[in-house]
Amino acid sequence: MYPCELARHLSSTMASRRVPKVTSKEGASQCQEKHVVLLSPVGKLEISGCETGLHEIKLPKLSVLPNGTEALTRCELSGSVTSVPEPLQQCAAWLSAYFCEPSRTQQLPLPPFHHPMLQRDSFTKEVLWTLLREVKFGEAISYQQLAERAGNSRAARAVGGAMRSNPIPIIIPCHRVICSSGQIGNYGGGNLLKEWLLSHEKLQKEKLAD
């Protein structure tokens, strides 16, 4: 199934929800974590979560940059879609659209989040939510600028720590945070993956502008 078809298929049965919710950890002992793998243009994305919400996205480590012209047909969800909890379906649909047809991500619901880091009040949580809300597709922001937007202009180093701790990369777009010098900085999935994601967004944004 092609990525845009996968996104449409998964989203067709979902409620229309644009803003992700951060759900309570009450009853966490009953949380039954499920795992799926999305075969994407940049490799295998491991998605975990439960019926309540998304837990984590694990990125592959790239040794070489993928060929963009070949990658568009290589996005599919491993396993049966019918057995996947809705938050994981929403995550897979959103990511598939991100890689294939980025303009559609604005119409797709983001999954609710169910990770402790995004539930307890902290500067890290404020940074991640500020990044999700304010830094859009094809944009970039420096660690210093993000610190200022999150309410502490002297906390650029702490912003770097928040990016390293981000449990939901790509959806919470820590790849869009770069150095003030213009260098891309480090990335949990490796600098090659960060470079690819930034280039992908720049190219797609240019296409939409034409």
Structural domains of the chain ordered from first start = 3-106 (3.30.160.70), 121-209 (1.10.10.10)
Q: Which residues contact 6 (CB under 8 A, 6 or more apart)?
A: 75, 76, 77, 92, 93, 96
Distance CA 182, CA 96 (A): 29
Provide the pLDDT for residue 178: 97
Provide the pLDDT for residue 17: 42
Active site residue 91: no
Active-site choice (4, 50, 174, 179): 174
DSSP assignment, residue 27?
Answer: T
Contact 78, 39 (CB under 8 A): yes
Provide the pLDDT for residue 62: 75
Distance CA 170, CA 167 (A): 10
pLDDT tens, residue by residue, 14-50:
433 455 665 554 444 468 899 999 999 898 999 999 9
Predicted TM-score (pTM) of this structure: 0.84
Strand order in the sheet with 76-78: 54-58, 43-49, 34-40, 76-78
Provide the pLDDT for residue 61: 81
Size of the chain, expressed as the number of residues it contains:
210
Q: Which residues of the chain have pLDDT under 50?
A: 1-4, 7, 9-17, 25-29, 69-72
